[in-house]
């Protein structure tokens, strides 16, 4: 395993970044729960919550999973099935 | 040399066209036509058979010719001429099949639109598949039977569903089938054109009795049909 | 790591094939031999089915037994033979072809193999508790109501899917990270391209089938209502999830086979492959398009009618990259110096029979025709021309072609040719009549049929028995040649790909010195291309 | 991997991989996660299919605030994983051990929260076989919970290796790859939380 470490992400992302990302995640989740208890109309709920959850997922993937600093190839591997399954799910649902 | 190969290509193309034409017009692989849609489906089928015959004879012809013509001579251990590709040729054999399938797709789409065009005032027959029988209901008539009767030349809208597992309602002479799916009602449009008796088969594996889930459809004149209906009521 | 140390010792004996061994060559042989055993079982089931269908009327199987044999014939052939046997070729060949010592994850590789025998046993053992009888497609709700063997079937297919998935992770990682110096992507042998395209499909499509099988198993075991129509469940959902995997599965079963024949044509024509990049890219195109066509299996299902058109178009477009491959192969043998060895005969047979499967695929994609021939013997004939005439021919071509590499011994050419002729005649005799039967009105998966189809079915049954018999000369040839055939030299075919630039069989860790690649895999006919020298020079200072 | 590097010519083995900047273990993990996207995508498709085409009033029994707390727990566990990685990257082995232990505790807390929620729903009569909502809800969240459980076991083995000094400032790939899995499971929950409870 020794040689592998040269390839793994550099310890660049600092603890500060990790904590800031967590703060972001926590705030968004708080906002989500708040909005859910307020009881938005369906037409508002859908876009707002989708955007918020995508923001959270992107934060985790970009910073905690290091996609921001790692090879772009990993990002492509992760994004491709996400796009594919979105299209496929839509086709499953309307069929 | 060049003229000779152009000549050969022309001759081969003409031969292929003859083959395609003969295959499309002379090969009769379908059962009898007993509905309006059968005529349209068979036209499409014959065009496809003709095209397929051309492609088949061309490819198998090249294959057999090359295999016979380019055999290694005994004792020849050398390599053949290194040809890695030919852009023009590759473009041709990408573009021509693409055009053929687009044309076929377009034609198939037209036929599909035509055979699924809703007819004014169709007669509705409910088809229910059950392990392992077919039931036919004539709404408003209070008639439920296990043998399908239809008046000739009258547009029929089958409303196909199932009481248990998936079946598939198929009359080969009508050229078409529709799955009987529990929880769904699927439409299937047919206008019978021939008086006679044709088989009704189940085409979707539905259990041990699948093979025997058959009955028949009796296509008869309007008067005979009314008489039969009255007798069943 | 005591096991792999034992394997690293020269030879290692036959016992290593029965152990947890991490050498990709041992695993490859384990795959090939085990799956061939399943092929024989699947073939036996097929012959039982054909025997029942030799003449109309119930003969010796009742409907339930017939459905069990039929279901397990399909499942064994697809999940335990074609998919894993091609993975077996991938295991044996990919590291050799790219100039690597092993796969990226040798232990996971062993795991991929060792998942297969138990899964096979589970599937076959289900015969003792009422085997699966809903067809290999397991359409709900029929597959919810059948006896307990159906649950075992679902578990078995899930395990096999996992095995296939782990293999795909391994293949992609190996090809991306373990290529020898100078082995660029445009120098990869076309079989490796085929495995890459296949692995892409396995990674993206298999998990959806697994999810679907979870739903089936939950409905059966935990009483969930996914496919229970009376409670709002939806049987069409299963068809979507099933075909999203199972149509790409056809390409999973055909792309590596196309890779195998792409290796065979140049070697026995002594010519470079024609249109290398076009063939490689058409594999990728088929694999991407292959993910967009699944619902062409559902044209009769009563799904939203508007959705059918795009599926018809995408299905038909797949004919274009397929055509590119076929024409490129023909151009490869054109003007070559063809040697009719057994692998070359099977590879040529591949084109001629796969072509029939491909052309009839266009018929099935055309919705108006599909509405007539869907779920009939026309489909049975089509899929067998693709998978038996196509994939299995290519597998045989590969088995003969790499036999000297794998075993270090030559097979008997005469027996090989007998096998080819019997197989070719048998395939056409079995499946050609089925097209006609389907068109004329014979549904598939029936244990009995109207007497009008009697002649066609008798022909198919005779063909099937000829096919069954045709395996015998192969088995005899393989066993006797492996034990006592004449010793093979390192490169009997004078091939240029890397697997031939090492001993037959290759030593542990494949190469005495890791190769450095300086030219393409099919550079025949050039003064530099002397096998063993131009392509693979020892790495400096290695 | 041990077997591949055993021969001693790793330089040749990974030459091409290194040029692409790809580590084989991480590449393998990302490929596996890609397939996991499709697996959860399949289950989510089924969930959404029934949610849209057969809406059920039973989703009113879901308690957003309670589950929101559980979401916080899982998000925090993702933070402890990256903090553990940062610790070992500084050479702080004790930090890694502490953060891994915290991750395990948070993971267990999440599962306890989920079990509690399941029990509440069962008391309302919502079970796997009571309705399509029950079927899809329990299947989907259950399979996520199963993934958390696998993650906890993986964290335990990572912790075990950390205690035996298996990681160091120059060798922490095992922690990173475990982290990829854990964060992925977290992302799945972020999506599920929105789809099941918020929309």
Mutate to test the interface with A, among C240, C287, C314 (most CBs of A within 10 A): C240
**Cβ–Cβ of D27/C176 closer than 8 Å?**
yes
**Cβ–Cβ of C307/A94 closer than 8 Å?**
yes
Burial annotation D12-45 (CB, 10 A radius, 16+ → b, else e): bbbbbbbeeebbbbbbbbbbbbbbbbbbbbbbbb
For residue D1, is it within any domain?
A: no
C390-434 pLDDT, tens digit each? 999 999 999 999 999 999 999 999 999 999 999 999 999 999 999
Segment D94-116 shows an average pLDDT of 97
Whether the pLDDT of residue D111 is over 80: the answer is yes
pLDDT confidence bin for B16, thresholds 50/70/90: very high
Percentage of chain A surpassing pLDDT 90?
Answer: 65
Helix, strand or coil for residue D171? Answer: strand
Helix, strand or coil for residue C516? Answer: strand
Supply the mean pLDDT for chain A.
Answer: 86
For residue D31, is it within any domain?
A: yes
In the sheet where B215-220 sits, what is the strand order? Answer: B148-151, B215-220, B196-202, B167-170, B177-180
Looking at residue A44, its pLDDT comes to 86
Which range is least confidently modeled, B185-189, C10-14, C157-161? Answer: C10-14
Helix, strand or coil for residue B124? Answer: strand
Mutate to test the interface with D, among A6, A64, A91 (most CBs of D within 10 A): A64
CATH number at residue D84: 1.20.120.80
Looking at residue C533, its pLDDT comes to 42
Residues across chain B = 233
Name the DSSP letter for residue B164: S
Q: Report which secondary-structure segment, H or E, holds C83.
A: helix C83-98
In SS3 terms, A63-88 reads as HHCCCCCCCHHHHHHHHHHHHHHHHH
Which of the pair, B219 or B6, is modelled with greater confidence?
B219
Q: Are residues B109 and B183 in the same domain?
A: no
**Cβ–Cβ of A84/C295 closer than 8 Å?**
no
Segment B180-206 shows an average pLDDT of 96
Q: Does C530 touch chain B (CB under 8 A)?
A: no
**Cβ–Cβ of C204/D15 closer than 8 Å?**
no
| Cα-trace Rg, chain B | 26
Residue D37 near residue A35 (C-beta atoms within 8 A): no
Name the DSSP letter for residue A6: G
Q: Are residues B149 and B218 in the same domain?
A: yes
CA dist C327 and D136 (Å) reads: 49
Chain A, residues 55-84, CB within 8 A of chain D, namely: 56-57, 60-61, 63-66, 70-71, 73-74, 77-78, 80-82, 84
Helix, strand or coil for residue A21? Answer: helix
Percentage of chain C surpassing pLDDT 70?
Answer: 95
Looking at residue D23, its pLDDT comes to 85
B112-163 pLDDT, tens digit each? 999 999 988 899 999 999 999 999 999 988 999 999 999 999 999 999 999 9
Q: Report which secondary-structure segment, H or E, holds A93.
A: helix A72-94
Which range is least confidently modeled, B22-31, C11-20, C21-30? Answer: C11-20
Largest Cα separation within chain A, whole Å, is: 55
pLDDT confidence bin for C538, thresholds 50/70/90: very low
Mutate to test the interface with B, among C233, C275, C368, C385 (most CBs of B within 10 A): C368
Question: How many Cβ atoms from other residues are within 10 Å of residue B122's Cβ?
Answer: 16
Looking at residue A10, its pLDDT comes to 52
CA dist B50 and B28 (Å) reads: 12
Q: Does B167 touch chain C (CB under 8 A)?
A: no
The shortest C-alpha distance from D164 to chain A (Å) reads 16
* B164 CB-near residues (< 8 Å, 6+ apart): B129, B130, B131, B182, B206, C141
CATH number at residue B151: 2.60.40.420
**Cβ–Cβ of D17/C177 closer than 8 Å?**
yes
Residues across chain C = 542
Q: Are residues B225 and B143 in the same domain?
A: yes
Neighbouring chains to C with at least 3 Cβ pairs closer than 8 Å: A, B, D
User: Among 1.20.1290.10, 1.10.760.10, 1.20.210.10, 1.20.58.410, what is the CATH number of C20-538?
Assistant: 1.20.210.10
Which of C169, C207, C237 has the CB atom closest to D38's CB atom? C207
Q: Does C8 touch chain B (CB under 8 A)?
A: no
pLDDT confidence bin for C97, thresholds 50/70/90: very high
* D157 CB-near residues (< 8 Å, 6+ apart): none
Residue C431 near residue C389 (C-beta atoms within 8 A): yes
The residue whose two tokens read 């994609």 is C365
Q: How many CB pairs under 8 A join B and C?
A: 269
Which range is least confidently modeled, B26-30, C72-76, C537-541? Answer: C537-541
In SS3 terms, C378-440 reads as HHHHHHHHHHHHHHHHHHHHHHHHCHHHHHCECCCHHHHHHHHHHHHHHHHHHHHHHHHHHHH
Whether the pLDDT of residue A5 is over 50: the answer is no
Residues across chain D = 199
Q: Does A6 touch chain C (CB under 8 A)?
A: no
For residue D1, which residues of chain C lie inside 8 Å, CB to CB? Answer: 104-107
**Cβ–Cβ of A92/C240 closer than 8 Å?**
yes
pLDDT confidence bin for B102, thresholds 50/70/90: very high
The shortest C-alpha distance from A66 to chain C (Å) reads 19
Name the closest residue on chain C to residue D32, using Cα atoms. Answer: C169
Neighbouring chains to D with at least 3 Cβ pairs closer than 8 Å: A, C
Note whether D touches B: 3 CB pairs or more under 8 A: no
Residue B215 burial (C-beta neighbours within 10 Å; 0-12, 13-18, 19+): middle
Name the closest residue on chain A to residue D48, using Cα atoms. Answer: A93
Looking at residue D7, its pLDDT comes to 37
The total of structural domains in chain D comes to 1
In the sheet where B143-145 sits, what is the strand order? Answer: B143-145, B133-138, B123-130, B156-162, B186-190
For residue A84, which residues of chain C lie inside 8 Å, CB to CB? Answer: 204, 291
CA dist D47 and A92 (Å) reads: 11
For residue A18, which residues of chain D lie inside 8 Å, CB to CB? Answer: 79, 82-83, 86
Which of D41, D71, D90 has the CB atom closest to A89's CB atom? D41
Looking at residue C530, its pLDDT comes to 52
pLDDT confidence bin for D6, thresholds 50/70/90: very low
Which residue(s) pair with B177 in the sheet?
A: B170
Q: Does D61 touch chain C (CB under 8 A)?
A: no
Residue D149: domain span: 24-198
For residue A50, which residues of chain D lie inside 8 Å, CB to CB? Answer: 194, 199
Whether the pLDDT of residue C9 is over 70: the answer is no
Nearest to B25 by CA among B39, B55, B45: B45
Q: How many CB pairs under 8 A join C and D?
A: 154
**Cβ–Cβ of B63/C338 closer than 8 Å?**
no
Q: Are residues B109 and B127 in the same domain?
A: no
Segment A33-47 shows an average pLDDT of 85
Whether the pLDDT of residue D4 is over 60: the answer is no
For residue D9, is it within any domain?
A: no
CA dist C99 and C510 (Å) reads: 8
Looking at residue C542, its pLDDT comes to 35
Segment B194-220 shows an average pLDDT of 96
CA dist C329 and C279 (Å) reads: 9
pLDDT confidence bin for D20, thresholds 50/70/90: low
Looking at residue B1, its pLDDT comes to 58
For residue C236, which residues of chain A lie inside 8 Å, CB to CB? Answer: 95
Name the DSSP letter for residue C133: -
Q: Are residues B162 and B109 in the same domain?
A: no
The residue whose two tokens read 């499309």 is B24
CA dist C254 and C265 (Å) reads: 17
Name the DSSP letter for residue A9: P
Which residue(s) pair with D171 in the sheet?
A: D168
Residue B173: domain span: 123-232
Q: Are residues B21 and B59 in the same domain?
A: yes
Looking at residue D14, its pLDDT comes to 43
> Distances from the Cα of B12 to the Cαs of B19, B20, B53, B67, in angstroms?
10, 12, 14, 18
Largest Cα separation within chain D, whole Å, is: 64
Looking at residue D21, its pLDDT comes to 58
For residue D35, which residues of chain A lie inside 8 Å, CB to CB? Answer: 81
Which residue(s) pair with B170 in the sheet?
A: B177, B201
Chain C, residues 306-345, CB within 8 A of chain B, namely: 308-309, 312-313, 316-317, 319-320, 323-324, 326-328, 330-331, 333-340
For residue B139, is it within any domain?
A: yes
Q: How many CB pairs under 8 A join A and C?
A: 22
Whether the pLDDT of residue C537 is over 70: the answer is no
Whether the pLDDT of residue A6 is over 80: the answer is no
The shortest C-alpha distance from D35 to chain C (Å) reads 5
Q: Report which secondary-structure segment, H or E, holds D111.
A: helix D93-123
CA dist A58 and A65 (Å) reads: 10
Note whether B touches A: 3 CB pairs or more under 8 A: no
Supply the mean pLDDT for chain C.
Answer: 92
Supply the mean pLDDT for chain D.
Answer: 89
Segment C233-253 shows an average pLDDT of 96
CA dist C273 and D132 (Å) reads: 55
Q: Does C178 touch chain A (CB under 8 A)?
A: no
Percentage of chain D surpassing pLDDT 70?
Answer: 89
Looking at residue A12, its pLDDT comes to 53
Residue C332 near residue B68 (C-beta atoms within 8 A): no
Mutate to test the interface with A, among C244, C296, C297, C305 (most CBs of A within 10 A): C244
Q: Report which secondary-structure segment, H or E, holds A33.
A: helix A15-38
Whether the pLDDT of residue D186 is over 80: the answer is yes
For residue D13, is it within any domain?
A: no
Q: Which two tokens stand for residue C246?
A: 């199972």
C467-512 pLDDT, tens digit each? 999 999 999 999 999 999 999 999 999 999 999 999 999 998 899 9
Segment C120-149 shows an average pLDDT of 93
Whether the pLDDT of residue D128 is over 50: the answer is yes
Name the closest residue on chain A to residue D192, using Cα atoms. Answer: A53
Looking at residue C529, its pLDDT comes to 53
Q: Which two tokens stand for residue B33?
A: 């036509």
Whether the pLDDT of residue C327 is over 50: the answer is yes
Which residue(s) pair with B159 in the sheet?
A: B126, B187
Which residue(s) pair with B200 in the sheet?
A: B215
For residue B137, is it within any domain?
A: yes
Helix, strand or coil for residue B127? Answer: strand
pLDDT confidence bin for D69, thresholds 50/70/90: very high
Q: What are phi and psi of C530, to 5 degrees?
A: -90, 120
Segment C208-220 shows an average pLDDT of 96
Domain chopping of chain C, boundaries = 20-538
Segment C38-59 shows an average pLDDT of 95
Supply the mean pLDDT for chain B.
Answer: 94
Whether the pLDDT of residue C6 is over 50: the answer is no
Q: Does B101 touch chain C (CB under 8 A)?
A: yes
For residue C302, which residues of chain A lie inside 8 Å, CB to CB? Answer: none
Looking at residue D16, its pLDDT comes to 47
Whether the pLDDT of residue C8 is over 70: the answer is no
> Distances from the Cα of C388 to the Cαs of C318, C371, C394, in angstroms?
20, 25, 9
* A7 CB-near residues (< 8 Å, 6+ apart): D18, D21, D22, D23, D26
The shortest C-alpha distance from D151 to chain A (Å) reads 15
Residue C428 near residue C463 (C-beta atoms within 8 A): yes
The total of structural domains in chain B comes to 2
Q: Report which secondary-structure segment, H or E, holds B138.
A: strand B133-138
Q: Are residues B140 and B174 in the same domain?
A: yes
For residue B223, is it within any domain?
A: yes
Which of the pair, C360 or D18, is modelled with greater confidence?
C360
For residue D133, is it within any domain?
A: yes
> Distances from the Cα of C385 to the Cαs of B101, C87, C163, C306, C361, in angstroms?
21, 21, 26, 30, 10
Residue B166 near residue B180 (C-beta atoms within 8 A): yes
For residue B165, is it within any domain?
A: yes
Helix, strand or coil for residue C369? Answer: helix
Which range is least confidently modeled, C90-99, C307-316, C523-532, D172-181? Answer: C523-532
Which of the pair, C263 or D170, is modelled with greater confidence?
C263
For residue D82, which residues of chain A lie inside 8 Å, CB to CB? Answer: 13, 18, 63-64
CA dist C57 and C62 (Å) reads: 11
Residue C190 near residue C263 (C-beta atoms within 8 A): yes
Name the closest residue on chain B to residue C230, using Cα atoms. Answer: B183
Q: Are residues B141 and B216 in the same domain?
A: yes
């Amino acid at each position: 395993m020794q040689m592998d470490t040269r390839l793994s992400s550099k310890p660049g992302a600092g603890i500060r970044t990790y904590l800031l990302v967590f703060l972001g995640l926590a705030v968004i989740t708080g906002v989500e729960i708040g909005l859910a208890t307020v009881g938005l109309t369906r037409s508002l709920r859908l876009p707002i919550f989708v955007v918020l959850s995508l923001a959270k997922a992107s934060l985790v993937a970009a910073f905690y999973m290091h996609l921001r600093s790692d090879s772009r190839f990993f990002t492509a591997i992760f994004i491709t099935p996400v796009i594919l399954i979105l299209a496929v799910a839509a086709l499953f649902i309307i069929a | 040399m060049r003229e000779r190969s152009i000549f050969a290509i022309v001759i081969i193309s003409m031969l292929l066209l003859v083959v395609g034409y003969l295959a499309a017009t002379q090969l009769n692989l379908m059962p009898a036509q007993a509905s309006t849609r059968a005529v349209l489906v068979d036209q499409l089928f014959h065009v496809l058979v003709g095209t397929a015959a051309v492609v088949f004879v061309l490819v198998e012809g090249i294959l057999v010719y090359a295999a016979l013509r380019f055999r290694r001579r005994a004792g020849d251990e050398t390599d053949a001429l290194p040809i890695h590709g030919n852009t023009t040729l590759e473009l041709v054999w990408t573009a021509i099949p693409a055009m053929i399938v687009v044309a076929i797709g377009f034609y198939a789409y037209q036929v599909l639109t035509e055979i699924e065009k809703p007819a004014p005032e169709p007669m509705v027959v409910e088809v229910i598949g059950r392990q392992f029988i077919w039931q036919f209901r004539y709404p408003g008539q209070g008639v439920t039977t296990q043998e399908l009767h239809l008046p000739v030349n009258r547009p029929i809208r089958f409303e196909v569903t199932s009481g248990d597992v998936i079946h598939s309602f198929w009359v080969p002479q009508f050229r078409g089938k529709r799955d009987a799916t529990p929880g769904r009602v699927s439409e299937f449009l047919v206008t019978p054109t021939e008086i006679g008796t044709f088989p009704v088969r189940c085409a979707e594996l539905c259990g041990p009795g699948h093979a025997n889930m058959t009955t028949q459809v009796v296509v008869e004149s309007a008067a005979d049909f009314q008489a039969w209906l009255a007798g069943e009521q | 790591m005591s096991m792999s140390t034992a394997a690293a010792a020269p030879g290692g004996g036959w016992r290593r094939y029965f152990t947890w061994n991490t050498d990709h060559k041992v695993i490859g042989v384990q795959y090939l031999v085990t799956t061939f055993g399943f092929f024989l079982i699947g073939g036996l089931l097929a012959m039982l089915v054909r025997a029942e269908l030799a003449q109309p009327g119930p003969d010796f199987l009742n409907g339930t037994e017939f459905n069990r044999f039929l279901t397990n014939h399909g499942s064994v052939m697809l999940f335990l033979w074609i998919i894993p046997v091609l993975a077996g070729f991938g295991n044996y060949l990919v590291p050799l072809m790219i100039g690597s010592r092993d796969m990226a994850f040798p232990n996971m590789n062993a795991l991929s193999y060792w998942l297969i025998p138990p899964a096979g046993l589970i599937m076959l053992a289900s015969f003792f508790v009422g085997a699966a009888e809903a067809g290999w497609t397991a359409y709900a709700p029929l597959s919810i109501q059948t006896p307990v063997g159906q649950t075992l079937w679902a578990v078995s297919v899930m395990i096999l899917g996992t095995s296939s998935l782990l293999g795909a992770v391994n293949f992609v990682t190996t090809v991306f990270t373990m290529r020898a110096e100078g082995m660029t992507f445009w120098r990869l042998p076309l079989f490796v391209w085929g495995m890459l395209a296949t692995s892409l499909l396995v990674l993206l499509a298999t998990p959806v089938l697994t999810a679907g099988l979870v739903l089936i198993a939950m409905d059966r075991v935990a009483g969930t209502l996914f496919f229970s129509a009376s409670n709002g469940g939806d049987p069409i959902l299963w068809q979507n999830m099933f075909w999203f995997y199972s149509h790409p599965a056809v390409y999973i079963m055909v792309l590596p086979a196309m890779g195998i024949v792409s290796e065979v044509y140049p070697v026995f024509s002594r010519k470079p492959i024609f249109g290398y990049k076009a063939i490689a890219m058409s594999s990728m195109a088929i694999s991407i398009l292959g993910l967009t066509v699944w619902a062409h299996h559902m044209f009769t299902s009563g799904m939203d009618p508007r959705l059918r058109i795009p599926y018809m178009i995408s299905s038909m477009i797949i004919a274009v990259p397929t055509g590119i491959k076929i024409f490129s192969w023909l151009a490869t043998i054109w003007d070559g110096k063809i040697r009719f060895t057994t692998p070359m005969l099977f590879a040529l047979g591949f084109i001629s029979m796969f072509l029939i499967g491909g052309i009839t695929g266009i018929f099935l994609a055309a919705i108006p025709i599909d509405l007539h021939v869907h779920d009939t013997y026309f489909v049975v004939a089509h899929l067998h021309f693709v998978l038996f005439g196509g994939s299995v021919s290519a597998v045989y071509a590969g088995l003969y072609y790499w036999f000297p590499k794998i075993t270090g011994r030559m097979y008997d050419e005469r027996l090989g040719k007998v096998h080819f002729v019997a197989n070719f005649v048998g395939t056409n005799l079995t499946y050609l009549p089925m097209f006609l039967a389907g068109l004329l009105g014979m549904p598939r998966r029936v244990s009995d049929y109207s007497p009008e189809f009697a002649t066609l079915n008798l022909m198919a049954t005779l063909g099937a028995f000829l096919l069954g018999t045709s395996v015998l000369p192969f088995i005899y040839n393989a066993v006797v040649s492996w034990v006592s055939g004449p010793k093979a030299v390192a490169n009997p075919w004078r091939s240029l790909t890397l697997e031939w630039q090492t001993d037959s069989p290759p030593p542990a860790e494949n190469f005495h010195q890791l190769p450095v690649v300086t030219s393409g895999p099919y550079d025949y006919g050039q003064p530099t291309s002397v096998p063993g020298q131009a392509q693979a020079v020892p790495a400096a200072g290695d | 991997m041990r077997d591949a590097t055993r021969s001693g010519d790793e330089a040749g083995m990974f030459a091409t991989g290194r040029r692409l900047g790809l580590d084989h273990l991480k590449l393998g993990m990302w490929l596996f996660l890609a397939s996991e996207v499709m697996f959860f995508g399949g289950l989510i498709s089924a969930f959404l299919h029934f949610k849209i085409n057969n809406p059920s009033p039973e989703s009113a029994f879901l308690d957003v605030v309670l589950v929101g707390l559980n979401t916080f727990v899982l998000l925090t566990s993702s933070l402890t994983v990256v903090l553990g990685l940062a610790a070992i990257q500084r050479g702080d082995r004790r930090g890694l051990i502490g953060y891994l232990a915290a991750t395990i505790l948070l993971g267990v807390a999440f599962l306890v929260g989920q079990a509690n929620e399941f029990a509440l729903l069962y008391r309302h009569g919502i079970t796997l076989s009571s309705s399509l909502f029950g079927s899809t809800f329990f299947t989907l969240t259950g399979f996520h919970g199963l993934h958390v459980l696998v993650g906890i076991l993986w964290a335990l083995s990572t912790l075990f290796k950390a205690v035996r000094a298996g990681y160091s400032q120059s060798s922490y790939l095992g922690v990173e790859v475990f982290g990829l899995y854990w964060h992925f499971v977290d992302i799945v929950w972020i999506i599920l939380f929105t789809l099941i409870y918020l929309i």
